[in-house]
Structure formats: C-alpha cells, structure tokens
Amino acid sequence: MTVPTLSVGTRIAQNREDGSGTLIGYLPVGFPDLGTSIDAAVALAENGVGALELGLPYSDPVMDGLAIQKATERALENGFRTRDVFTAVEAVRARVDVPVLVMTYWNPVVQYGVDRFADDLLNAGGAGLITPDITPDSADDWIAASDRTGLDRVFLAAPSSTDARLRSTVEASRGFVYAVSTMGITGARANVDAAARTLVGRLREAGVENTCVGIGISSGEQVAEVLGYADGAIVGAALVTALAEGGVAGAAAKAAELASGVDAARK
C-alpha cells in the first residue's frame, strides 16, 4: 500500500502558523534491529518530534560522531540492506502523521539507482532526502529525480560557506536548508555553537524559506534557543544514545524532554 507523502516544508509552515518551531529527530534504520528502529521512530513522533530523519547506515561515515557510528555499525552487522529503509519509512508513515526524510550519503543512492531510489521512497511515503556529502552543483541527477517526483531535497550549509554557495544552496533546496551549527562531526555539545545564529542570518539574507539547525543539540534548553532564530532544531546523537541506553522507552523520554524546548520557544 502506498502511504501518502507529507512534505517537511508543509509541516514546518503549519507549525510556524501555530507559532511553533519544528523538532526534527534522527535515528538510524536497523538499530538495534529493524523492528525496534521503527518502533523508536514512532515513539519520537508520539512524544513531540515534528519530523523524522531516518539514517541509512553507511560503512564509511564522514560526519558522524561516535554514538551514530556505533549504531550504524550495529545495523550493518545485523544485515541492514538499502531496501530496509523503504520498509521503515512505510511502516512509520502508516503509524504516525509526520514527514519522514531519509539522511543518506550519496554512494548508496547511486548504487541503488537514483531514479529507482526516488520512486521507492515516494511509494513508501517518504518526504525526501538529506544528502550531507553532495553539493547542488554535483547533484544534477538527484535534482532531476526530485523534480520529477516532488520529493524534498535538503542540502547542507556550513559557517564556512561563501555567500555565493549559500545562495546556490538556498535555490536548490526544497523543504529546508540544513544549517550545520559547528564545524566537525556530529555529537552532543554543552553549548550550541554561536556560529549557527550567524549562519541562519546569512541564509535569511540569501532568501531561505526554511532553515533548521543541526549538530550539537542535546537538551530542551538548546532546542528552545535554536528555535528562537531558526525554523527547526535537529537532534541526532542524543536520541541515538538514549535508544542505545534505554531502548524505545529511553528514546521516547528523551524526545519528550527535547520537545519541552518547542513549548518554551512557542511565540
């Protein structure tokens, strides 16, 4: 059964109209096993996470911190296959009404087939892709496939990006632009880098409609801080750690704590 697609941009706009920002939660598919990863993603959505980012495990991560690396290694050891991500997306969308993006490095998409990947994601009810290791000027195949299917395409912007690069990223992205709050790998930090606020301001000047900040957010207080100037806050490592240490219940509790920041930032 095809599950209707829900655009992340639509959800962000709905939340903005309600005076609220959007909490986006990341979990890798297949950790600690496929069924549990689906249950955990549903639990996030049921505890205040407004959009989901399901990670496709990859053997050579370039920006993932230790918590996510360990989780994806476990998923791969347990026999994760690319097709499992579509199973997970469809299962989650059948249970909760939140947009589901897939976070993936580009090589697995190429190996699977760009158009085939786009079609299978669309048919599963997925919203689109976050592609951390390609830039708009090297993404012609994905831009064509996402234009054909209407899927969201989320590119990353970093504090080191030039103004010209930010403009091209804004023009090419659909759904939101992923503002990387710090240089380096993912992982919870005591303080979200102040560079994120400056980067979001530069993206606004470049004409961005929606921008969400990720990398380094681990508490409800930090979610509230980020939602004071951005449209969304993305949390990954803190949720993965909670799942690893406390199972689905632990992930649900952490999601609820993070979601308290959404309420605190409500305008």
Distances (CA, A) of 98 to 6, 44, 76, 210: 7, 10, 26, 17
List the catalytic residue out of 39, 60, 64, 163. Answer: 64
Residues 6+ apart with CB under 8 A from 144: none
Is position 53 annotated as part of the catalytic site?
yes
Give the separation between CA 71 and CA 172, rounded to whole angstroms.
Answer: 31
Give the separation between CA 131 and CA 102, rounded to whole angstroms.
Answer: 9
List the catalytic residue out of 53, 84, 90, 257. Answer: 53
From the list 223, 250, 243, 247, the residue with the least C-alpha distance to 50 is 223
Dihedral (CA of 133, 54, 185, 68) sign:
negative
In this structure, are residues 211 and 203 in contact, taking their beta carbons and an 8 Å threshold? Answer: yes
Tokens of 52: 């989901």
Residues 6+ apart with CB under 8 A from 11: 22, 50, 51, 98, 99
Q: E strands along the chain, which residues? A: 22-28, 51-55, 100-103, 128-130, 152-154, 156-157, 177-180, 211-214, 232-235
In this structure, are residues 139 and 147 in contact, taking their beta carbons and an 8 Å threshold? Answer: no
Is position 115 annotated as part of the catalytic site?
no
Tokens of 163: 């103004």
Count of other CB atoms within 10 angstroms of residue 18 = 10
Catalytic residues: 53, 64
